Amino acid sequence: MKIIEKAIKEGKTTLSEYESKQVLAAYQIPVTREILVNDVKDLMNATQEIGYPLVLKGCSAEITHKTEKGLIKVDIRNDDDATVAFKEIMANMNGNENAVLVQEMVKGQRELVIGLTRDAQFGPCVMFGLGGIFTEILKDISFRVAPLEKRDALEMMHDIKGHRILEAVRGMEAADLDALADILIKVGQIGLENEKVKEIDINPVLISGSKPVAVDALVVLDL
């Protein structure tokens, strides 16, 4: 893939969130609608294109842990707030590649993680688990070796202890398991078809209504 080749040529070991999601989107994995902007004029066009409420994120391949660095502003509802948030984020980026990602704000209470790791013996392996802050705390995860068949994908979702989160609970719709299975299969396929992709984190995958959407993503490369 071109994005990957370009990053490797530039000696980057990670893709930015925007680039990572382009890789996912190329494999038909549903991602948030988003536009990368560099100035206020582009920002205004983007806010109009996507529509409020919005999320603004500092976007750079060099910066991880965006929340801790004040680079994420959520629930932005009008042009004034968007402009203020844009300027703050640009200031907080201190000299890193300056760009801000204007992103639709996906609503959903259920956060999942889907990932890829390249094991020395097994090759690309796909991970599924509880996402967001629970990923590290609960480590409720399961793995399968790529390529995954649909059955593998469905079973690995059922393997985690918290699998009932996917059912219709507390007034929420049941998660679309076919759509989730499709993402798991595609992530494995990215690993099989792109030797240079070392790891992928899609965290969180939000369940919006019943549909999964990749809200944040990170692709790690092997130079």
Partner 1 sequence: MKKMANMKTLFDPGSVAVIGASDKQAKLGFHVMKSLTKGGFTGRIIPVNPGSHEIMGLKAFPAIADHDGQVDLAIVVLPAKLVPGVFRECADKGVKGIVLITAGFKEIDDLAGADLHEELAGIANEAGMPVIGPNTFGMVNLHADLNASFTPEFSQVKKGGICLVSQSGGISHLLAFMAMRMDVGFSKIVGLGNRLNVDFAQMLEYLMDDPDTKVIVLYVEGVDEPRDLIEATRKLRGRKPIIAYKTGSGTVGDQASLSHTGSMAGRHDIYTGAFRQAGILYTNSTENLLDAAKAMASCPIPGGPGMAVLSGQAGPGMASCDLCEAAGLKIVRFTGKTQQRVNELLPPLALRTNPVDMGPAWYDSSAIEGIIQAVMDDDNVNGILILMMFASANVDAVKGISDLLVKWAQGKPVISCIQSPPGIWDEQIRALEESGALVNYPTPERAARAMAALWEYSKIKDRMEQD
Coil vs helix vs strand at 13:
coil
Angle at 18 between CA 2 and CA 71, to 5 degrees: 150
Number of residues that bind partner 1 (CB under 8 A): 33
Query: How far are the Cα atoms of 4, 105, 188 from residue 117, in angstroms, in the given order?
Result: 17, 28, 9
- With respect to partner 1, which residue has the nearer C-beta, 39 or 122? 122
Binding residues among 155-214 for partner 1 as defined by CB under 8 A: 155-156, 159, 198-201, 203
In this chain, which of 39, 74, 109, 122 binds partner 1, going by CB under 8 A?
Answer: 122
Contact yes or no for 180/157 (Cβ under 8 A): yes
For residue 66, the minimal CB distance to partner 1 (Å) is: 14
**Touching partner 1, residues 8-37 (CB under 8 A):** 13-14
Measured in degrees and rounded to the nearest 5, phi and psi for residue 198 equal -90, -45
Per CB under 8 A, 112 contacts partner 1: no
Among 28, 38, 48, 64, binds partner 1 (CB under 8 A): 64
Binding mask 141-160 for partner 1 (x = CB under 8 A): xxxxx-----xx--xx--x-
Q: Closest distance between partner 1 and the C-beta of residue 216, in Å? A: 11
Contacts for 124 with CB less than 8 Å, ≥ 6 apart: 116, 117, 118, 145, 146, 188, 191, 192
